[in-house]
Every structure is written in C-alpha cells, then in structure tokens.
Amino acid sequence: MGLLDKKYHDSNIIIVSLESALNWARKSSLWYEQFGLACCAIEMMATAASHYDFDRFGIIPRSSPRQADVMIVAGTVTMKMASRIERLYEQMSEPRYVISMGSCSNSGGPYWEHGYHVLKGVDKVIPVDVYVPGCPPRPEALLEGFLTLQKKIENESIIESKPSDKITEEADRHETT
Amino acid sequence: MTHQISANVQETREMTINMGPQHPSTHGVLRLEVVLNGEVVSRVHPHIGYLHRCFEKHAEAMDDYSKVIPYTDRIDYVSAMNQEHGYVIAVEKLLQLEVPERVEYVRVILAELQRIASHLLGIGTFGLDLGAFTPFLYCFIEREKILTIFEKISGARLLYNYICVGGLMRDVPDSFKPETADFVKTFRPKIKELNDLLSYNKIFIDRTANIGILPAEVALNYAASGPMLRGSGVSWDLRKNDPYSIYDRFEFDIPVGSGEVGTVGDCWDRYMVRVREMEQSLVIIEQALEQMPDEGNVMEAVPKRIRMKEGEVYVRTETPRGELGYYIISDKSPSPFRVKVRAPSFVNLSILPAISRGALLSDLVAIVGSIDIVLGEVDR
Amino acid sequence: MKQPEEIAAYLKDKIVKGVLEFVPAEIGQPWITLAPDSIKNIAKFLRDDSELRFNTLMCLSGVHYPAEQELGVTYHLHSTTFGHTVALKVRVPIDNPRVQSVESVWKTADWHEREAWDMLGIIFDGHPNMTRILCPDDWEGHPLRKDYVQQETYQGITTRF
C-alpha cells in the first residue's frame, strides 16, 4: 500500500530515474554532423545509405554543428583543417560526443611518418569518446562504434560531468593560469 | 501602382560569404569564398589544400615502387582501382615490362566496374545536392553489389591495393566471372530506372539545364578532361584517342553532351555523359568477359625486386573523372626520384570561377556537383 | 602527327630563340630543354603554329635536382588537333628560381604554377596570383625540396607523431 498505488494505472506512465530517462533519450537519437573529410566519409555515406541504414538506430545526419550531438571525424585531419575542426566542435551544443573514424583521425594512419601536413590524431585538438580503427573501417565497424557510444551514454550521470569535458575544463584552467 | 525607389536605396554592396570547408554539398573539405551581388555570384575563389596529405613526398620516401600503390588508392578513394591501374602502367612502362593477357583483362574489367561504382556515387550525391534523396539510395544499392565483387577478390571494400607492378596480388576467384556477368545483366535495366527517376525529372532538369555552361574552347584551354570535357561536346576519351592497356580491342562509343534539354556543356550534359558512360562500361565488360583467357598465372611477370634505370615517363589514363597523369622520374635508387600526379579533379575544379560567374548561389551547388570532384585528388 | 625529335627539329628550323637541345631517352620519353626566359614565347608559338597546335597543357611539374643545385619545370603538351605530344624542360638555379609564367597561354597553368611555387619554391614571373595553394599561407618552407625540414609546430600544434 504505497503512496503511488492505483494512482497511475489508467494513464501511460512509467517510473524511472531522471538520469536513465535522459540517457535513454540521448542514446536513441544520436544526430551526427554530416561532415566528411576523406576516404572514411565514403564509408560513412555507405553506412547511412540503403544497405546499412543508420536510421534504424535513430542516427540522422544534420548539416549544422549546432543541431548535432555527435561529430564523426571521418578521415584525415590536416594542419590546415585542425583549427576548423576545433571551431566546429566548439559550435556543437552540450552534451556532445566525438567519434574518431579510421586510422588517420586516430593517429595519422599511413601518413604518420612523412605526412608533414597531417595532424597525427584528432585527439590533439579535440577530446574523443570512441575510436574506430580501420583504413577505412567497414560500415559494421562504424555501427559498432555507435553502439559503444550508446553504452557509454547509458552510464552517464547528470551530476558528474562527462570525463572528456573535464579534460577540456582542466585544460582551459591550465591555460588561464 | 508604381513604387518610386530612390537611387541610393537600390545601391547594393557586394557580400563575401564562405562555403565550406564544412558544407554538405562541397563533396568534402573544399572552401569556396563567394562574392555575391544579392543572390548572384560575382566571383568565386576556391581555396583548396584542406586534405593535402603529402602524396608526392610519400612516394619519394618509400623504398620501393610497389609501396607507393596503397597511397595511390587514397588519392582518389572513390576510384581506387583506376588510380592503381594508372600508376602501375607508368611503372611498367619504365621497366619495359609485358604483363600476361589474363592480367590485362582482369584489370580492364575492374577498372570499368570501378568506373560504374564511381559514377553511381557521383550521380547519387549530385542528386542529393539538388534535393533528390531517393536516387542516392538506389545508386548505393547497385554500388554495394560492385563492392561485394571487389571484396571477394581483394578483401577490401574501398581501398584495394590489388593491382601490383607486373600483375595482380592474387588470381580472381572462380566466382568472379559469373558474378560480374550477373551484375551486368541486372544493372542494365537499373540505368533506365535511374533515367526515369532522376535524369528526365522536371525539377532536376530545371535545376541543371542551361546552368554552368562550359564552352568547348574554354574547356580545352583549361585542359579539362573526362565527363567535364565530353559534356561540352568534345569527343575525347583516352581509351579511344590514346589507347593504353588493351582498350584498343573493344568496341564502344564515347558519349558526348548534345544540349538535349538545354545548352551544350551545361550541368545536365555533364551529368548525362556519366549515365551514358556507365552503359558503355557495361559494353566493355561484356566483351572483356568473353575474350578473357580462363587460365594463366597472374604472378608470372611480377618482378622480385624492382630495379630501375634512369628515365622518366608521363602516362595518362582515363579515370571516371578524367585524365589521370603520372609523371615519374626514376634514378638508379629503389625509390622514385619524383612522382607528380596530374589529378583530373584538380584541373577540372580550376574552371569553377570561370563557369560560375553570374549564376545564382543555389546553382553554384549544382555546378560544383556536376564537376564531380574528389577532394583527395584535388589536394593529394 | 609529329614525333618529339621532329618537333625539336621543326623548332630549330623556325629559328625559335631559346630552344637549347633535344634529349633522347634510353627508357621512357624524350624531352626538349629550353631557356627559362623564353618559355612564354615558345609556348605561344607552340600553341598557335599551324603545324603544331599544342592546345592543351596536360601537366606542369616542378622538380628539385639537389646534385646540380637546380630546380626544374617540366611541361607536358598535347595537341588534340594532331594528336602529338611533347615534353619541355627548363632548369633554373636554386638561389634565383625564376621562370616565365605560361598562365596567359594556357589557363590551366594557373593552379599548376601555384602548386610548383608552394611545393618547390619556383617563382613564376607574370603569374597574377603567386600564392600558396595546398599548404596554408603561413607555412614554412617548400615541402618537396629534397632538403626540406619539417617544421615542429604549426599554430601551436605539433606536426610530429
């Protein structure tokens, strides 16, 4: 004979914690920024197209970073592009996530040694949540990257901030002092 | 009733806006600095180099000519087989190497399949730029079929590293021939479907006809090639005009732009040349499948170590985007002295300022889409 | 259709100033060397002459020859009218790398010449916009020179692994 007994039985109400409701909503509608850099972008397009169909996970492309939840860094980031990536990341609203797709954005990939104009890993400029290896990764691999990100979001807390944001906050503090 | 507008109100100032490097219809990381007079484009300054991955430096740094092949894949990642093919032909010319018949036929079939796959992507994304989403999905269904064939022979979907100097990495599986023949059979009706869905769609024609007109003499002065040049009515295809590999054994037509729905050399003509080229590629594949010898060692002519003499060669091949040139200078060392890539997209994109003057901003998207650039190739 | 040696002989016949020599190649393709201060006139002649009609510049490549302390430019021309092809070369010393621009003859040279400046530091006299094209404007050095040393940082970001 609890307080809530027989109070909600004829309207559709489910009782969950606020945290899991938010996390459930966030992980089920990961809108990504439609932003291709290089070879991996073609595989990203293939993942979004008919055969692999991103939409069934609620993953929809957005053309503006301001509407996006997740940024897929799909391809080689060059020195000329690095500052632009940083700005795009800053334009995204919180909570924001980054998937680094392919060897190039993970670590420089095949260009790590002689690529004078290639950034050796996008994590040198923005925090990354999930790394998807491959050159280029298969669409299945990118999908797994998204499933991993969903798992990560499931375990998030609204009180504690995202670990990656903490890093940037610390870095900001470090810079100002 | 007439409105009186004083002269100083009518005065407009030019406005500069940036398109890219993050933009859904620049096909990658192209940045266009557009000077607008109202909605009309006065000038366009393309800024490139956002994907400059130092290919030429890598080619000089490799200690073997074969080690450059994976990097050539990544120059134009939409048509990796054609890139490999071009580079390998250039190295074989320097080595004065003869390759077995079977290898030549497999290479040609793969190059033509890749051409279809690349055009499908180009057409699909061109439609996407202009607001047609469904053709994109249809194109990708067919493209996946080609990628499945490629995956069976090389193990990769996009960047293959399959064609090697003197031969192929391994022989094609037995299923290659029937599956390719099957694809040719099923793909032909799909081209008609695509024409019904997109090519002769009223909205699509309104967006592309009479827009971005490129006259033939301008195209030649800019050294445009591929569908860009053929769209302007110039019948020029390296497979016919300067045959390489075994292309002189096949009969096929060169589709050119005719101004069917607008003016010769407009966006629609460039688009339609690609659609018709896919049909011609099917014709070549059919003939090649018929003539291809069933037996033969594909590794026969592969040299154990590549020993070069001093010399230089400029070899050009026809990729889906146009004339791909490899200028290789060799010295006696195991690594190339200089490799310069003459990328078709790089040259074709340089025409953009000339043909987009006076267009509307929304038409600029159509013009960029009709050039079908791959930024990996523009920036290398 | 003319062979490269015929074209070289034809040029010498017409007494075009600046044609130095025809170099046959053991393997690969031959070329004609030219004086760097006459390339523009020769280019115009090659384009407009009724027997040559080289209407397209296929490729323009810069090369660094470290042994000779020289930079070079190679031009690959093609005539769609006659179907013949020729390669031209000029060489300039590395401490004064100035070549005449052929941008006014073939428009396609515009971006190719900017690339050669960006990658190798060859200056093209008469080019309307001699700026970097692939690397950012504030990049240091010319990457395709054989003695190029990669800069350690760019805008505060390390360029190393």
User: Cβ B29–A50 below 8 Å, yes or no?
Assistant: no
The predicted pLDDT at position A55 comes to 86
Find the Cα–Cα–Cα–Cα dihedral C49, C50, C52, C56, rounded to 10°: 80
The closest alpha carbon to B25, from B367, B355, B378, B377, belongs to B367
Per the omega criterion (within 30 degrees of 0), is the bond before B178 cis? Answer: no
Find the Cα–Cα–Cα–Cα dihedral B115, B31, A168, C155, rounded to 10°: 110
User: Cβ C144–B346 below 8 Å, yes or no?
Assistant: no
The predicted pLDDT at position C158 comes to 85
pLDDT band at B341 (very low <50, low <70, confident <90, very high): very high
Q: What is the pLDDT of residues A13-67, one digit of tens each?
A: 778 888 888 888 888 888 998 878 888 888 998 898 888 888 888 888 888 889 8
Interface with B, mutate which of C33, C44, C58 (most B CBs under 10 A): C58
Report d(CA B169, CA B242) in Å as an integer: 27
pTM, to two decimals? 0.89
The closest alpha carbon to C90, from C45, C50, C123, C118, belongs to C123
- What is the phi/psi pair of residue A132, to 5°? -110, 115
Region B158-183: mean pLDDT is 90
User: Cβ C159–A125 below 8 Å, yes or no?
Assistant: no
Interface with B, mutate which of C44, C61, C63, C79 (most B CBs under 10 A): C61
Region B39-66: mean pLDDT is 90
Are C148 and C159 within 8 A, CB to CB? no
- ipTM computed for the complex: 0.91
Report d(CA C42, CA C102) in Å as an integer: 10
Please give, rounded to a whole number of angstroms, the shortest distance from the CA of A131 to a CA of chain B: 20
| Residue segments in chain C with a per-residue pLDDT below the cut of 70 | 15-16
Angle at C44 between CA C38 and CA C48, to 5 degrees: 150
Q: What is the pLDDT of residues A100-155, one digit of tens each?
A: 999 999 998 899 888 889 999 898 899 999 999 998 899 999 999 999 999 998 88
As given in the structure block, the two tokens for residue B170 are 């391994």
C27 Cα distance to chain centroid? 21
Q: What is the pLDDT of residues B352-379, one digit of tens each?
A: 999 988 889 889 999 998 988 888 889 8
Specify the length of chain A in residues: 177
The predicted pLDDT at position B86 comes to 92
The closest alpha carbon to A39, from A99, A88, A102, belongs to A102
* pLDDT, averaged across chain B: 88
Specify the length of chain B in residues: 380
> At C77, which helix (H) or strand (E)?
strand C70-78
- Give the least confident one: B25-29, B85-89, B272-276: B25-29
% of chain B at pLDDT higher than 90: 38
Half-sphere exposure of B248 (CA within 13 A, CB side): 5
Residue found by looking up tokens 């997740």 in the block: A70
The predicted pLDDT at position B280 comes to 92
Q: Which of C135, C158, C160 sits opposite A117 (nearest CB)?
A: C135
Report d(CA B290, CA B297) in Å as an integer: 19
Residue found by looking up tokens 């031959």 in the block: C30
Report d(CA B172, CA B151) in Å as an integer: 11
Q: Which of B121, B136, B158 sits opposite A39 (nearest CB)?
A: B158
Domains of chain C: 4-158 (3.30.460.80)
The predicted pLDDT at position B129 comes to 87
The predicted pLDDT at position A177 comes to 43
Q: Which residues contact A177 (CB under 8 A, 6 or more apart)?
A: none
Report d(CA A55, CA A50) in Å as an integer: 10
The predicted pLDDT at position B332 comes to 85
Please give, rounded to a whole number of angstroms, the shortest distance from the CA of A2 to a CA of chain B: 53
As given in the structure block, the two tokens for residue C51 are 């027997």
The predicted pLDDT at position B182 comes to 93
In the three-class reduction of DSSP (H, G, I as helix; E, B as strand; rest coil), residue C15 is classed as: coil
Answer yes or no: is pLDDT of A164 > 60.
no
> At C89, which helix (H) or strand (E)?
strand C85-93
CA distances from A112 to B8, B68, B170, B347, C136 (A): 57, 15, 28, 28, 19
Residues of chain B with C-beta less than 8 angstroms from the C-beta of A111: 53-54, 58
Report d(CA B324, CA C151) in Å as an integer: 31
Answer yes or no: is pLDDT of B292 > 70.
yes
State the SS3 of chain B: CCCCCCHHHHCCCCEEEEECCCCCCCCCCCEEEEEEECCEEEEEEEECCCCCCCHHHHHHHCCCHHHHHHHHHHHCCCCHHHHHHHHHHHHHHHHCCCCCHHHHHHHHHHHHHHHHHHHHHHHHHHHHHCCCCHHHHHHHHHHHHHHHHHHHHHCCCCCCCCEECCEECCCCCCCHHHHHHHHHHHHHHHHHHHHHHHHCCHHHHHHHCCCCCCCHHHHHHCCCCCHHHHCCCCCCCHHHHCCCCCHHHCCCCCCCCCCCCCCCCCHHHHHHHHHHHHHHHHHHHHHHHHHCCCCCCCCCCCCCCCCCCCEEEEEEEEECCEEEEEEEEECCCCCCCEEEEECHHHHHHCCHHHHCCCCEHHHHHHHHHHHCCCHHHHHC
Answer yes or no: is pLDDT of A9 > 80.
no
Report d(CA B364, CA B360) in Å as an integer: 6
pLDDT band at B180 (very low <50, low <70, confident <90, very high): very high
The predicted pLDDT at position C157 comes to 85
User: Cβ B158–A115 below 8 Å, yes or no?
Assistant: no
Residue found by looking up tokens 């293939």 in the block: A46
The predicted pLDDT at position A1 comes to 54
